[in-house]
Amino acid sequence: HQPASSSRVMLSRRWMFALVAAACSVHADGAQTEEDIDAQLARWRQAAASEAKSFAGQVFLPPSVADEWYTVTIAEVSVGYMNTAVTVTPETVSTMEVMDVQVSRGTDTSRMAFETVFTELPLSETEPSTALPEQATRGAVVTMAYDQRFANSEVKMSAAFSEGGISLTSYNGEKEHVSELGLPTEAWLGRMRARLGFTERCRSGEKEIVLQTMRPELGPRVVNLTSSFVGLGEVWDGEKMVEASHWSVQISDVPVNMSEAYPVHGPLACYRMLQMGLDMPFGHLLASLSSKEAALKAAEDDPSRKLPELVYTMFVPLSRPIPDVYEASMVLLQVRFKPDKANGNTLELPSAGYQKVSRLPEDPTQLLVKINLQTPRRASSAEMADTEFTSPSAMVDSSDDVVITLAHKVDSQLKALGHVIPTTGKIPPSSQIELVYALRDLVHNHISEKHLSTAYASASETARTGSGDCTEHAVLLAALLKARRVPARVCHGLVYVEQGGSAISGEAGGATVNADGSTAASALGQFGWHMWTQALVNGKWMDLDATLHVPYSVGHVLVGTSSMSDKEAHNNHMQMAALIGNLEIDLLEFSHEWRK
């Protein structure tokens, strides 16, 4: 089954949004021995105890108004700013964080902004870091919100908390979606109360502090925020260098290394954040306290500045090319962490769709990944019953009138082939297969402007604009499938880029790029980060890539799947964060034989 259009492979950058959004969090410089850390811990605790004497009998309450500005760098190149604001009134506590950065994606310069807001109930003057028992499962939070802006695209989410549950409102660029969810069963704290909880325990000299909170970019779910003391150092506080405690920060189920620094001395000890950092594959992201003027200047366009490149540098080289990848029926790959990147982690990849994963018998830290286009895997009973694969969401709005109209454009084509798709009841097996292929072809041709300058647009927006990269292809196809009553989900992982291919076309003849972003004359083939779609057809998950000139190819490595429901936000794409820049892949076998 081959559509007539030319081949294009669009590399995903949704993982980049997830990573940078999670950053709204310095890295202690240099490796330290356990003896060094113990000595610094003792010195810090002594300083904390000395400071505590000056706070004796006082309950720390945050300043009623605070407005802090930070300059953001990636790999020591200024790329933008971060701004945090706090307003405390007798009625509410409001906290806001916004990060606005520019990066290079291939030949495009992209600007993106992420904003999170919490509104919380008033603080107790005697126990400001706690919530009343009746407020515990809603964190004493009234609302939390997340807003992501990129070029002309905007994705927004807000959650309103009440005794009866959570009302989640998501906006996809065209209309709002409202979902009603239950409250968490465990107690947690909103952003300000969690911050004050850290301040109290930091001032008491605790070296590991675990708090339960929520992160808007991860959706309305409780996460553990673990801060661990890693050392002391000198940090700029906007006016002078001061002694600061450095902390590594880990969010549960978010496999990225974050860090923060706080002053050791003064009235804002352990409260005022001096730096926030995030280890990223393309360089360390660092937000350093500065003036508003300097922070805003870092976000201005500067043609002379070489921005960090976030597409080509993320490619995973292959040990040898896959011959005639679009004609192949099977490949067997060996996938592992780079020797210096495992850090005790176990590599996990799913068996789903055309992919089957097993562990190398002689070395269980390495995976054997077989992609066989003739053996799709059967869906589990839980997946068959999951209504999220058939329900509309803000990103995959199968109830949108334009999406529905577009999904029916294939009817005349299918009727000519003898397939009339019923509007109720079961769709005959042979008609299901033809329907999903026709919808894949439709998306491939409908998105006629295939480029990297669109980011994270919803299916509704893409149906109207006909532009985007792999993300837009994936979400639009999922929406069209759902609109025709075919369960669907979005996949994220790696796609094969042909020898000498570019990030846009994937075809031979384009420039390849070294790890430092420079062009190379040739390459052995490589994988780039990507998104595509799976359809549940006759009880099995079928992979479909609407960016290609064929329905799918063996040149895909699945990392994870997502229903793209409103409550998931970025959460399901965090699986990629621990893998980007950390993998090695060998080609072991391939086949071009097809069953007749």
| Domain map (residue ranges) of the chain | 16-297, 314-591
Tens-digit pLDDT string for the chain (596 aa): 433 333 344 444 454 555 555 444 333 444 455 668 888 999 999 998 888 888 777 899 999 999 999 999 988 889 999 999 999 999 999 999 999 998 766 556 678 899 999 999 999 999 999 999 999 999 999 999 999 887 667 778 899 999 999 999 988 667 788 889 999 999 999 999 999 999 999 999 999 999 999 998 888 999 999 999 999 999 999 899 999 999 999 998 777 789 999 999 999 999 999 999 988 767 788 999 999 999 999 988 887 777 776 666 778 989 899 999 999 999 999 999 988 777 667 899 999 999 999 999 888 889 999 999 999 999 999 999 999 999 998 889 999 999 999 999 999 999 999 999 998 889 999 999 999 999 999 999 999 876 555 556 788 888 998 888 788 999 999 999 999 999 999 999 999 987 554 443 344 444 444 433 433 434 568 998 899 999 999 999 999 999 999 999 999 999 999 998 877 655 555 667 678 888 999 999 999 999 87
Q: Supply the pTM of this predicted model.
A: 0.79
Pair 576, 33: CB distance under 8 Å = no
Q: Is the alpha carbon torsion for 469, 475, 481, 483 positive or negative?
A: negative
The Cα-based distances of 78 to 28, 69, 297 in angstroms read: 20, 14, 9
The torsion defined by the Cα of 585, 591, 595 and 596, in degrees rounded to 10, comes to: 140
- H/E stretch holding 587 reads strand 583-591
- Of 434, 441, 552, 566, the C-alpha closest to 493 is 552
Pair 402, 464: CB distance under 8 Å = yes
Q: In the 8-state DSSP scheme, what is residue 330?
A: E
Pair 538, 432: CB distance under 8 Å = yes
Quote the tokens at residue 95: 């906290």
Pairing of strands 330-337, 449-450: unpaired
Cα separation, 419 vs 432, whole angstroms: 9
Per DSSP, the residues of 492-543 read EEEEEE-TT--TTT-STTSPEE-TTS-EES--S-EEEEEEEEEEEETTEEEE
Q: Tell me the sheet residues that pair with 493.
A: 530, 558
Rounded to 5°, angle at Cα 346 from 334 and 35? 130
Q: In the 8-state DSSP scheme, what is residue 583?
A: E
- Of 63, 61, 70, 115, the C-alpha closest to 86 is 63
Taking domain 314-591, whether its CATH number is 3.10.620.30 is answered by: yes
- Of 188, 192, 189, the C-alpha closest to 63 is 192
